[in-house]
Structure 1
Amino acid sequence: MTSTATHPVLGTAPASPAAAAAYFGASLAFHADVSDVAAALAAGDPGFVLLDSRSTASWDQGHVPGALHLPTALIAEQADQLLDRSVPVVTYCWGPGCNGATRAALALALLGYQVKEMLGGFEYWVREGFAYETWEGAARAEPDLLTAPAASGDCGC
């Protein structure tokens, strides 16, 4: 058996259960995943605004139906005309390799908006097989079996 002192996973001891609960509980206050956002949008009034913070060229290439387009660079100038401060905002950008949604969420929080970030961004929206819109119209890709269950839309998590 490998010593925990040299084992990369347990070289740093796990947090206490109380610290872990606080951390993971806080994480859920800041993030939502693609499947949960899709389910909320499909149910009707989700109680939040979904905001695409990418450029117009990126928006035209593909975006979530019903999302509001507000590039991060324009948030300070236009948020008050487009958003209601009493309605939470969920931001997204390209995907996990991009922190544009994080920057947008920060800009909105600094202006006094309640905000979450959609983990996975537009990349995982498409990879999970949800419909999207482009400048040419509606589109949908087959779900990537590494990101979405083959038999149903519910991963059980």
Structure 2
Amino acid sequence: MTATVNPVLRVAPAAPTEAAAYFRASLAFHADVSDVAAALDAAGGGDPGFVVLDSRSAEAWDQGHLPGAVHLPTALVPEQAEQLLDRNVPVVTYCWGPGCNGATRSALALAELGYRVKEMLGGFEYWVREGFAYETWEGRERRDADPLTAPVDAANCGC
């Protein structure tokens, strides 16, 4: 009789101390859209302690972007970051969504230039899907929260 291999446990979970180090490091590199939105909301239009950077093209920016974000396409980071960003202020990068690595590439470029940086998980896609307001070339918009990505009857997911 052949034993069935559990696909989840085929590779054993890491030891708790190794797992804690990995997840702690992950949080040092990433923020999620709900946390970014909560921090921006708590700042009430003031300084949240970081700047949000949209690393997409001008066409994507015009289609929609986070209110208050700085627009700096990934390819332009090396030549324009110093003109637009303060090295003493952490940067949170985003691009389209989980299927795009533009935010990762812009975060890498910023880190290599000496900026403290995090990547916003989910990008613009999840910002919109979670029901947060965004700006387009026509003005401010908001869509209803997608019940597959955010609670529809609560301010946050509680996680």
TM-score, length-scaled by structure 2:
0.95
Unaligned runs of 5+ in 2: none
1:39-54 matches, within 5 Å, as 39-44=38-43, 45-54=47-56
- Written as runs of structure 1 = structure 2, the 5 A alignment for 1:10-21 is 10-21=9-20
The one-letter code of the counterpart of 1:125 is W
Counterpart residue number, 1:148: 150
**Partner residue of 2:75?**
73
| Deviation, structure 1 residue 46 | 1.1
**For residue 107 of structure 2, what is the aligned residue in structure 1?**
105
1:133 aligns with 135
| SS class of match (1:91) | strand
User: Over the residues paired in the alignment, what is the CA RMSD in angstroms?
Assistant: 1.2
Question: Aligned with 2:37: secondary structure?
Answer: helix
- Unmatched 5+ residue regions in structure 1? none
Provide the C-alpha distance between the structure 1 equivalents of 2:156 and 2:80, rounded to a whole number of angstroms.
37
Deviation per residue, 1:33-64 (Å, 9 max, x gap): 00000011111121000000000000000000
Aligned partners of 2:156 and 2:95: how far apart in 1? Answer: 23
| Cα separation, 1, equivalents of 2:120 and 2:113 | 19
Q: How many residues align?
A: 155
Aligned to 1:8: 7
1:39 & 1:68 partners in 2: Cα distance? Answer: 18
Report how far residue 153 of structure 1 moved.
1.5
